[in-house]
Amino acid sequence: VIAESVRPTVIIGNWKMHKTIAESAAFVTSLAFVVRHSSTQVGLAVPYTMITAAADAARGALIAIGAQNVFDAEEGPYTGEISCRMLKDAGASFVIIGHSERRHLFHEDNAWINRKVKRALNDGLRVVLCIGETLEQHQTGKTHAVLHEQLTECLKDVGERQIESLIIAYEPVWAIGTNQTATPEIAQASHHFIRNEIAKKWGKPASERLIIQYGGSVKPENAAALLNEPDIDGLLVGGASLVLDAFVKIIQCHKIKTQSAT
Ligand code: PGA
C-alpha cells in the first residue's frame, strides 16, 4: 500500500471566464517566481485565448497550463469547438472536463463527459474530471449514489493505464462560488468514498495513486484544514485563484500537510 504522503499535492486554479492575455502572462511570471522551490504541483486552467501566453510564461517553471473544456471529436464541422490537438498545440497539458457549470449551463451529461474524457486521455492530455452532488441531492442523502453514478458513467471504458493520467475533483455544487465550503469532514467522507469506488474497478494500487482534489469556495483560510485530510490530495480553486496573493497562500498550505504527515 502506498502511503498517503507519497501522493503529490496538486493545486489547480480554474480561472473560468476571467482575465486577458497580458494579465495571464504577468500572473504566471509572478507565480513562477514564487513556486520555484515548491514541491506542490501547480496548474492553471485558463481561457483558450490565454493558453499560449500563459504556457510561454510558465516555460521552465513548474506550472502546468490547461484548458477548461474540450470537444470530443478529433476534428470536423463543429463551429466554435476546440480539439485536444489544438489545446496541446497551444501549450496545454491538461483539461478540466465535466465542471458543474458545463453540466448545468451547457447541458453536458455523463455520457458526453465520458466521450470527452476518453478522447482527452487517448490524445495525451491529463484530465481533471469534476464530479459532485447538488444541494438537493446533498440534503436528501444522495451524495454517494450520485458520485457512484457519475464515476461509473463518466469513466466507462477507461482503462487501468489511462487512470494514471486522471485527477478527480470532488466539487459539491452547493459549495461552488457560494462561500459555503464543505467541512473537511464532509469532503473527506466523499473523497474516501471516491477512492474506494476507484479501487473496486481499477484496483487498490491505482486508487492509492489517484489524486483527488476538493473544489468549492477554497480560500487561504480553509485550504490547510482541507489538505490535512488523508484523502484530500489537492484543491481546485476558482475565485481565489484570480488573486495572486490568495492563490500563493493556498499553494503554501502544502507545507503544513507535509509536516503533519510525518
Ligand atoms: P470557487 O470555484 O472556488 O470559486 O467556489 C471552484 C470551481 O468551480 O472549480
* Sign of the dihedral defined by the CA atoms of residues 181, 105, 156, 93, in that order: negative
Atom of ligand 1 nearest to the CA of 14: 9
Tell me, what amino acid is at 7?
Answer: R
Mean pLDDT value of segment 210-239: 97
Question: Which set of grid coordinates corresponds to residue 132?
Answer: 459532485
Does 261 have pLDDT greater than 50?
no
Q: What is the dihedral of CA 139, 145, 148, 153, to 10 degrees?
A: -100
Q: Kindly report the protein residue whose alpha carbon is nearest to atom 7 of ligand 1.
A: 238
pLDDT of residue 208: 96
Atom of ligand 1 nearest to the CA of 216: 5
Residue 190 neighbours by CB under 8 Å, 6+ apart: 143, 144, 147, 170, 172, 182
pLDDT per residue as tens digits for the range 44-66: 999 999 999 999 999 989 899 99
Length of the chain: 262
pLDDT per residue as tens digits for the range 87-123: 999 999 999 999 999 999 999 999 999 999 999 999 9
Q: What is the DSSP string of 227-238?
A: HTSTT--EEEES
What is the C-alpha separation between 14 and 4, in angstroms, rounded?
Answer: 25
pLDDT of residue 37: 83
**pTM (predicted TM-score):** 0.95
Catalytic: 74?
A: no
Catalytic: 221?
A: no
Residue 258 CA, ligand 1 centroid: distance in Å: 24
Nearest CA to 129 out of 103, 161, 107, 92 is that of 103
Mean pLDDT value of segment 207-213: 97
Q: Kindly report the protein residue whose alpha carbon is nearest to atom 3 of ligand 1.
A: 238
Tell me, what amino acid is at 121?
Answer: L
Residue 5 binned pLDDT confidence (cut-offs 50, 70, 90) = low
Residue 196 CA, ligand 1 centroid: distance in Å: 25
Residue 73 CA, ligand 1 centroid: distance in Å: 27
Residue 181 CA, ligand 1 centroid: distance in Å: 10
Q: Kindly report the protein residue whose alpha carbon is nearest to atom 1 of ligand 1.
A: 238
- For the Cβ of 243 lying below 6 angstroms from any atom of ligand 1, the answer is no
Does 260 have pLDDT greater than 50?
no
Contact present, 201 and 148 (Cβ < 8 Å) = no
User: Which position among 101, 171, 197, 229 bears the catalytic label?
Assistant: 171
CA angle (92, 254, 87) in 5-degree steps: 5
Residue 18 CA, ligand 1 centroid: distance in Å: 13
- For the Cβ of 84 lying below 6 angstroms from any atom of ligand 1, the answer is no
pLDDT of residue 259: 43
Within 92-131, strands assigned E span 94-97, 126-131
| DSSP conformational letter for 262 | -
Nearest CA to 87 out of 115, 57, 126 is that of 126
Atom of ligand 1 nearest to the CA of 169: 9
Q: Calculate the average pLDDT of the chain.
A: 94
| Site of grid cell 440534503 | 139
Residues of the chain with pLDDT > 90: what percent? 89
